[in-house]
């Protein structure tokens, strides 16, 4: 059984799509489904796939690699494909030579030709998706299908935490919110212990290093750490963008401050705000939110933990495996 996965990662869009596909691929592999990744070449994608010891097939930027994708499907006799990509829609999918198409989406803003669609943000988009996919398409909607790495699913112990706050804006942080957050905390003379992590695609290391060397903040900077989950586990409050890491922090039962960095995060923001499971802030208001969250930390953490049980990837894998005759 084989499944192709078409996704991308680069310094502009970050690594969220690729990382969740890698985690889902590991789960599918346990069901004896052979995965072949298809990506556009980038330094970030190459580094991430290499770090996971995953081989991949390259496609060009022309039409998001449609022609090469079809050539790969034909060459390896692959009948099914999973797509996690904002630039791909029904026009692209109609030209695929695949019998079974799985889409991961969190925008609900374009039509798809697919057999299965997954949106981990909210079940409230059901009516929207019914207008965007074929009638026979199966929909897996809501945080119960969140794809969370196993290392983030653990019982929380607040007794011996090394850090007061953990700051991470993903693999590339193109807006450099890491620097902006530290600058704001420096101006406000924040006294707590800070854990800052940046990823493989972070391109502002020199300016960040200069700030760290000239500040009185109590900060530890980790660059592309292999133990990201451990560092998050050792921190009381998580400051991050409302992407995949939001659900990972929630699965640990952490108090979370969300900083919006892209429009595609609106679904996650709405889910966590309606659940009263996190606080939405701006970089300029981080310090105030840290003070506010002190009184709400336990209730926020409990509500965050209740959003996802960490079993979403297994539910997705089971659904895909049920259609193994097509794969």
177, 269: one domain: yes
Single out the residue of 51, 4, 47, 39 nearest to residue 25, CA to CA.
4
What pLDDT is recorded for position 295? 84
28, 47: one domain: yes
Residues in the chain: 327
* Distance in angstroms (rounded) separating the CA atoms of residues 315 and 217: 43
First vs last C-alpha separation in the chain: 5
26, 81: one domain: yes
8, 19: one domain: yes
* Distance in angstroms (rounded) separating the CA atoms of residues 189 and 215: 9
* Distance in angstroms (rounded) separating the CA atoms of residues 84 and 88: 8
Residue 315 DSSP symbol = H
* Distance in angstroms (rounded) separating the CA atoms of residues 102 and 92: 13
284, 314: one domain: no
Task: Please write the tens of the pLDDT for every residue from 92-124.
Answer: 999 999 999 999 999 999 999 999 999 998 788
For 193, the enclosing helix (H) or strand (E) is strand 193-198
Q: Can you give the CATH number for the domain in which 314 is found? A: 3.40.50.11190
Query: Which domain does 64 fall in, by range?
Result: 2-148+310-326
Cβ of 63: how many Cβ atoms within 10 Å?
15
Rg (CA), the chain: 20
The tally of domains found in the chain comes to 2
Task: Please write the tens of the pLDDT for every residue from 47-95.
Answer: 999 999 999 999 999 999 999 999 999 999 999 999 999 999 999 999 9
pTM for the model stands at 0.93
Phi first, then psi, for residue 193 (nearest 5°) are: -85, 130
What pLDDT is recorded for position 324? 62
- Which segments of the chain have a pLDDT < 70? 155-159, 324-327
Cβ of 168: how many Cβ atoms within 10 Å?
27
């Amino acid at each position: 059984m084989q499944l192709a996965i078409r996704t991308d990662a680069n310094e502009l869009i970050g690594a969220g799509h690729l990382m969740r596909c890698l985690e889902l691929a590991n789960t599918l592999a346990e069901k004896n489904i052979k995965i072949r990744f298809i990506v556009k070449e980038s330094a970030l994608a190459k580094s991430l796939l290499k770090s996971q010891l995953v081989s991949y097939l390259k496609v060009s930027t022309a039409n998001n690699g449609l022609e090469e994708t079809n050539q790969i499907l034909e060459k390896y006799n692959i009948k099914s494909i999973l797509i996690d990509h904002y630039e791909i829609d029904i026009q692209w999918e109609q030209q695929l030579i695949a019998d079974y198409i799985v889409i991961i989406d969190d925008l609900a803003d374009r039509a798809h030709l697919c057999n299965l669609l997954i949106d981990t943000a909210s079940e409230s988009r059901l009516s929207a998706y019914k207008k965007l996919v074929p009638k026979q398409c199966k929909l897996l909607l809501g945080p119960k299908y969140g794809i969370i790495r196993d290392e983030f699913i653990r019982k929380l112990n607040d007794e011996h935490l090394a850090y007061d706050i953990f700051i991470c804006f993903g693999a590339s942080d193109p807006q450099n919110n890491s620097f902006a957050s530290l600058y704001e905390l420096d101006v406000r003379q924040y006294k707590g212990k800070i854990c800052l992590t940046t990823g493989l695609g972070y391109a502002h290391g020199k300016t960040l290093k200069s700030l760290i060397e000239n500040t009185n903040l109590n900060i530890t900077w980790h660059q592309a750490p292999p133990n990201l989950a451990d560092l998050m586990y050792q921190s009381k409050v998580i400051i991050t963008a409302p992407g995949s890491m939001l659900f990972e922090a929630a699965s640990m039962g952490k108090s979370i401050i969300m900083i919006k960095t892209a429009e595609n995060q609106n679904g996650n923001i709405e889910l966590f705000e309606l659940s009263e499971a996190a606080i939405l802030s701006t970089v300029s208001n981080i310090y105030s939110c840290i003070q506010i969250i002190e009184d709400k930390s336990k209730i926020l953490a409990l509500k965050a933990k209740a959003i996802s049980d960490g079993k979403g990837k297994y539910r997705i894998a089971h659904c895909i495996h049920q259609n193994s005759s097509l794969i």
